[in-house]
Structure formats: structure tokens, C-alpha cells
Amino acid sequence: MLKCRTMWRRLAPLTRASSTLCRQNTRRAVLNNERSPALVPLARMSSEAPAGGNENKIYFLLVGAACLGGGIYAYRTIKGDKDRYNDRLEEIASRPNKSAPDQPETYLSTESPVEPAVETTEAAEPVVEAAPEEPDETAAAPVVESEPEPESPPEDLSEPPVVPAQSEPDTAAEPPSSEPTEQSPVVDSEPPPAAESPPAESSEPQSAAETESAAAEEPSAAPVTEPPAPAPLPVPPHAPYLLIGGGTASFAAARSIRARDPGARVLIVTDEWDLPYMRPPLSKELWFSDDPGVTDTLRFKQWNGKERSIYFQPPSFYVSPEELDKAENGGVAVLTGKKVVHMDVRGNKVRLSDNSEISYDKCLIATGGVPRNLQVIERAGEEVTKRTTLFRKVDDFKALEKVSREIKSITIIGGGFLGSELACALGRRSSEDGLEVVQMYPEKGNMGKVLPEYLSNWTTEKVKSEGVRVITEALVKNVSFDDGKVQIKLKDGRVVKTDHLVAAVGLEPSTELAKSAGLEVDSDFGGYRVNAELQARSNIWVAGDAACFYDIRLGRRRVEHHDHAVVSGRLAGENMTGANKPYWHQSMFWSDLGPDVGYEAIGIVDSSLPTVGVFAKATAKDTPRAAAEMSGTGIRSESETEAVARSPVASSTPPPAPLQQKDDYGKGVIFYLRDKVVVGIILWNVFNRMPIARKIIKDGEEHADLNEVAKLFNIHDD
């Protein structure tokens, strides 16, 4: 306050001069408007100099008003601070409550039920102390198990103190303490851990079993608090090997870990509800199945006629999460429907969407990605978005399969692998069901970013012959829903009317954990940045679509193919068990677009690179179908179905006439060069030569004449 005044006094001479003019103006204004002097102070608040000569008074009033304003602000802030502080404290206090679902109590409250059980508290203490001392869960189980046994009479109440005594904070909030009677139905709903519960009395094994299962893992409190409701999947508190994501890379890693570390306990956490499955058949084989119930069975025919499911393993392969710790030889458990939302690297633990926590020794992030969408579709409103499929998962396949039977026209936006494969798969239906299939993309031809232009054009013609209406160089400007049809307006003015959209415009890698885990995200390729051994940080590896890794041969890259998921998953699993091997075995990929076009590829296959293609004239022998039948290898989308449907093109006596005479790229090898070194190879309708291609890329040599290199492939042979 004093400072204000002194400052003001100092400034007063300066302001006087400037205020003279204002004073005169306002005096005139005041006199003109005949305002009462009482209103003048208000005008002063708006920093206008007052009329009249009571300058000191005016200054005092000004200063006073400023100080009053300041005081009001300060008071409000302090008051608000206090409120905020109280809110924060409440939030912190209530956080332990939320640590397990349906937990009304906190640490404090679990102790209160303990106190009534006075005689058991002392007995419970050694149990309480013993249990947290055991770092190993399996050791804890027997410890805890033995303790409650002698305390059989009050065992119901002694169990609860044992339960909260577990080192995991989540179990602490177990309200079995308050609801001992509910323990029986709880245990009934859970599969009783087989070997370790000695079935003495009816209540004892139940409570012992309950304790064991609580000791070994954490049965979520939900089953305890809601005995009549079915028990949700318990979340184990610790997993030696934790794999985040339940796709191909994760499964490959699980297998690798189990192979190398005997008795390993592997926990896969996935936000999908399905067990691990493979993706390629979702856009290929499943569409060509004759089985009308294919959307339920999800089985497809392989090359050898044998059927298999898209699931890597049936459910009996897996151990249930609550039994993981007790399984004698370990196993792989899958926790479905749970998303990891936070990762604490220093504490070696993760937090799930339901706020339960899992600690780990080694962790793999294999979260894959989510399909990208076009902004014009997102902004187009609900009528459009509900008619749009972003194709990635099993559910998307089921939904699209159903929709494709009900509508007249479907449009696929995107000309890459997924878009082209779906277009061909649906195009095949177009002849059967009268479905109009449109495919549109900004490139000049299918696989425009992968294949050199001449080959891309050739491929586009093949796709068209599958019954697809292809619109190239199509940039979608606007999408709307009018007249019961989805209207797609292109930049060049064309309009496409359709019933359903499929957006196949790329994959956005899922890197939500980067922030909490402190992991680097690559700005060029996306995904988590890892080294050549697929390691991101200590005890954290990343594999599959989400991994931007350093390839010793080809440089840093991120690959979104099935075989890469397998190779990288396996490598990550090896490294998690101490192998320290870099990414060395080059993964490959393949695609079939109809019965006549099939290729395998390896390395960097980018159409912007200079290419050298060496082709032979193709005969009817050189189709994916024929190749599969002859060599008996390979999973070819059409092979078995075509062979079954028509009298098979006898592989032993093919019709000798070649396909076409003009520039026909029937079969050959295409080399992709970077600084004169072959970095990528496509085997075009030439099969079973991938090892040679892999070797050439591995060598990384400059070859003067690539025709000579092409000779190694014997493209004319079969």
C-alpha cells in the first residue's frame, strides 16, 4: 500500500501534465452532461482523469481502488488455493480406493475389520510379515498357505489380514475382510488352484484356496463384492514376462520365451477380446471359403487342403491368468479386454485401464497399431461413419462380411496391400452376388508405392479383371450421405455413390505408452524407437508393427508385415531370455491379387527407388495356383478353392501356350537398388526362391550386372 502511494506521488507530476488535457475534456463532458460528482469516481476507475481540482483526493481514491482490487484478488487466490489443496488431498486419499475395482475401503479401512478379530491379529501379524518378505509369488503361496491352516477356527477373519498384507497394494483393498461369508461363492466361481489346496474342511480349503489365489495372484475384488455376478478375469500382480499386446509379434515372443526359458511364465495383456490370431487370412483366405459359417468358425483351407483356424492356438494351449503363477511348468496366459494405460519403467510395472497394476521383470511392447482414417470421413457425420469400416480385426472382418451380403455397392479407399486384397476378395463376390466393388486411390495404379510403374499398371489391369471398378488418381474431397447413398466427391469433380466404405489408408502405430514410459518415438517412421536388438530401454523390448528398429543391413525402418511380426517377435523373445541378437534374419512378405498375380518380396520395396526387372515369358504353369500345387508349399489364396471348384489345372501337364505375347510380365525378379546395392527384391510369380533373395540382400554387395544375379533364381524353371 505504501509503495503504491509513494510511487503514485512520484508519478503524479508526470501524470499531471498528461492528465491536464483529459481533465479539461472530462470537465467539459461532465458539465455538459450534468453528471453528479458522485459518478466521477466510477469514471476514474476506467483510468480517465477526473474533473475538478481535487487531485490528491482523486489520487487517494485511485490508489485505494487499486489496492482494494488487489486485495480481493489475493483473497480469492488464497481461498482457491486452499480449496485446491483440499481437493488434492481427497484425491490422493481416494486413490487407493480405486486401485482395484469395486473397492470401497483403503488400507486404513482394511485394518479396521482386522481389529475386531483381536485374537487373530497377533497370529495374523507373522503371516502379514512373512508374506511381503517373500518376493517370489510361488514361495509366498506355500507360506501363506501354511499359516492359515493352524488358525482354522478364526480362519475366516485371519484370511483378510493375510490378503491385505500382500506386497501388492491392490490386494490390500480386498474387502473379503468385511465379507467372509462371500468367500465361498468367490472361490466357487474361480477355478480352485488344483494341487496346493489341501481339502481339509469345507471352509478351510475355500479360504485357504482363496488366500492362495490371492497370494499368488490378485483375484479382483469384484468377485468378492458381487458373489452372484460372474467373476471377471483376475489380474495377476506380477508376471516375469509381460507382453503388452496380443497379436502375432506377441505370440511369437511368447513361444520363443517358452522355448528358451523352461518353465517360463508369460502373461499377454491385450485390449481385444480374442486370443492371438493371424491377420493375413482376414483379407484373403477367409473370403474365399465355401463355408457359410466362416465368420463364426474362422477357419480356412491351407495349401494342403487341411483346414486351420486363424487362432494360433486353441484356448486349451493357454493357462488362465490366475493359475499362471502356480502352473508347474509355467505357461502362457492371456488377459483379454484389458488395456495398459500407464507404464512405470523405474518401478517395473504397468497400470491397466481398470487401475490394477502388474509388475514385471521383462516387458515386451507389441501394441501394433490402429487403422488410419481420412479426415473427410471423420468429419462427414454419423451417417457416413457408421457406414465406414476401418479394417483390422476379426470383428471388422465379421462386420464387413455381413454388410457385403446386404448392400449393392461398396467402395474401398486405398490402393495398397489391404485395399487391393480386399478389392479382389470382394470383387470375386461381385460376380456371384451382383455387388458393385469400387476401389479408389490417389496413385496411378494398384500397389503404386511398392511396384514400379509398369508393373503397377499391369497389376491394376488384373484387379479390374477381378470385377473391380478401379478409379485411379482419386483424391477424396468430400464425403456425405444423401438420398440413402454415401456420396464421395473427388477433387476432379467425379462423384461416386455407394452404400458402404472401407478405408484402407494405412496404419497408425500405437505409441500411447511412450509418454508414461519415457520411450522415444520415431518421427520419420512412427513407432517406438528401438535398437538393433529391439530394445527400447532396460527390460523393455518392442516388436511388430509398432517397432521402429535399426536393421544392420538396411538401416532404420518400421515394417508392417506378418512375417516381420513373427521374426521380430521371436527375436525379442530370444533377447528377453538373454540372447542379445540383432535383427539379422530378413523378413519377407507376400501378396496375392487374384489367381494370376502373386509375388513374394523381401527388404525395402519402395517404388521410388530405381529398379531393374528381369522377366521371362510366362506359361500357364507360372501362376500362384499352379506353383502351390506343384511344390506343395505356400498358402495361396485361390489355390485350393480354385482347384476344388474346377477341374484342376493339372500341374504335371500344363497347356504349353504362353499367356500373352506383348509386354507380359508373367514372371521374373525385380531388384530395388539404393546406391547400386540391392536392398529389396520382388519375386514375381516365382516361388520357393526366397533364400536366394535373402542371401543377396544380406551380402549387400554391388553387382555390376543384375542379369547375372537374376540367373541365380532360375526363373525359367519351376
Partner 1 sequence: MSSIKEEGKDRIIFVTKEEHETPSSAELIEEDPNDPYEERGLILPSGEINWNCPCLGGMASGPCGTTFKDAFSCFHYSKEEVKGSDCLEQFKGMQECMQRYPELYPQEDEKKTQGGADKTQPSLQDSSTDPATDSEPTTSPEPTTSPEQDTSPTPSSPPADTTIPLRSESSLSG
The footprint of partner 1 on residues 235-254 (CB under 8 A) is 248, 251-252, 254
User: Residue type for 90, please?
Assistant: E
Name the nearest CA neighbour of 463 among 403, 412, 397: 412
C-alpha cell at 39: 459518478
C-alpha cell at 599: 509375388
Does 585 contact partner 1 by CB under 8 A?
A: yes
Nearer to partner 1, 114 or 447 (CB): 447
Q: In a 10 Å sphere around its CB, with 0-12 CB exposed, 13-18 middle and 19+ buried, how is residue 341 labelled?
A: middle
Given candidates 387, 562, 621, 667, which one binds partner 1 under the rule CB under 8 A?
Answer: 562
Which residues, numbered 336-355, are part of the site for partner 1 (CB under 8 A)? none
Minimum CB–partner distance for residue 318 and partner 1 (Å): 9
Minimum CB–partner distance for residue 642 and partner 1 (Å): 16
Minimum CB–partner distance for residue 317 and partner 1 (Å): 5
Nearer to partner 1, 173 or 447 (CB): 447
Minimum CB–partner distance for residue 147 and partner 1 (Å): 30
Minimum CB–partner distance for residue 708 and partner 1 (Å): 4
- What residues pair up with 218 in beta bridges, in sequence order? 235
Span of 226-234, 336-344, 357-365, 451-459 interacting with partner 1 by CB under 8 A: 451-459
Name the nearest CA neighbour of 234 among 253, 265, 257, 210: 210
Minimum CB–partner distance for residue 686 and partner 1 (Å): 11
Minimum CB–partner distance for residue 312 and partner 1 (Å): 5
Contact between 430 and 436 under an 8 Å Cβ cutoff? The reply is: yes
The 655-694 contact track toward partner 1, x by CB under 8 A, reads: --------------------------------xxxxxx-x
* CA–CA gap between residue 533 and residue 364 (Å, rounded): 12
Minimum CB–partner distance for residue 372 and partner 1 (Å): 25
Q: Which residue shows C-alpha cell 475366516?
A: 156
Contact between 26 and 49 under an 8 Å Cβ cutoff? The reply is: yes
* CA–CA gap between residue 27 and residue 25 (Å, rounded): 5
Which residues, numbered 690-709, are part of the site for partner 1 (CB under 8 A)? 690-692, 694-696, 699, 701, 703, 705, 707-709
Span of 38-46, 63-71, 401-409, 587-595 interacting with partner 1 by CB under 8 A: 587-595
Cα 596 to Cα 396, 482, 684, distances in angstroms? 27, 38, 11
With CB under 8 A as the rule, give the number of residues binding partner 1.
89
Does 454 contact partner 1 by CB under 8 A?
A: yes
- What residues pair up with 363 in beta bridges, in sequence order? 242, 540
* CA–CA gap between residue 26 and residue 643 (Å, rounded): 100
The 200-239 contact track toward partner 1, x by CB under 8 A, reads: ----------------------------------------
Span of 203-211, 358-366, 424-432, 614-622 interacting with partner 1 by CB under 8 A: 614-622
Which residues, numbered 18-47, are part of the site for partner 1 (CB under 8 A)? none
Which residues, numbered 257-276, are part of the site for partner 1 (CB under 8 A)? 257-260, 262-263
Given candidates 256, 289, 359, 446, which one binds partner 1 under the rule CB under 8 A?
Answer: 256
End-to-end CA distance of the chain: 97
Contacts of 385 (CB under 8 A, 6+ apart): 377, 378
Given candidates 391, 549, 615, 684, which one binds partner 1 under the rule CB under 8 A?
Answer: 615
Radius of gyration in angstroms for the set of CA atoms belonging to the chain, rounded to a whole number: 35
Given candidates 582, 648, 654, 658, which one binds partner 1 under the rule CB under 8 A?
Answer: 582
- Residue 592, Cα to own-chain centre: how many angstroms? 26
Minimum CB–partner distance for residue 298 and partner 1 (Å): 11
Name the nearest CA neighbour of 340 among 519, 193, 557, 524: 519
- Which long-range contacts does 392-399 make (Cβ < 8 Å, 24+ apart)? 392/279, 392/507, 393/272, 393/274, 393/282, 394/274, 394/277, 394/282, 394/298, 394/310, 396/282, 397/282, 397/283, 397/286, 397/295, 398/295
Minimum CB–partner distance for residue 703 and partner 1 (Å): 6
Contact between 377 and 384 under an 8 Å Cβ cutoff? The reply is: yes
Minimum CB–partner distance for residue 587 and partner 1 (Å): 7
Nearer to partner 1, 425 or 715 (CB): 715
Nearer to partner 1, 350 or 447 (CB): 447
Which residues, numbered 274-333, are part of the site for partner 1 (CB under 8 A)? 278, 280, 302, 304, 306, 308-309, 311-314, 316-317, 319, 329, 331-332
Does 362 contact partner 1 by CB under 8 A?
A: no
Does 543 contact partner 1 by CB under 8 A?
A: no
Which residues, numbered 629-648, are part of the site for partner 1 (CB under 8 A)? 631-636
| Strands 357-365, 238-244: pairing kind | parallel
Minimum CB–partner distance for residue 382 and partner 1 (Å): 38
Write the DSSP assignment of 186-232 as a string of letters: HHHHSPPPTTT----SSHHHHHHHHHHHHHHSB--HHHHH-TTSPPP
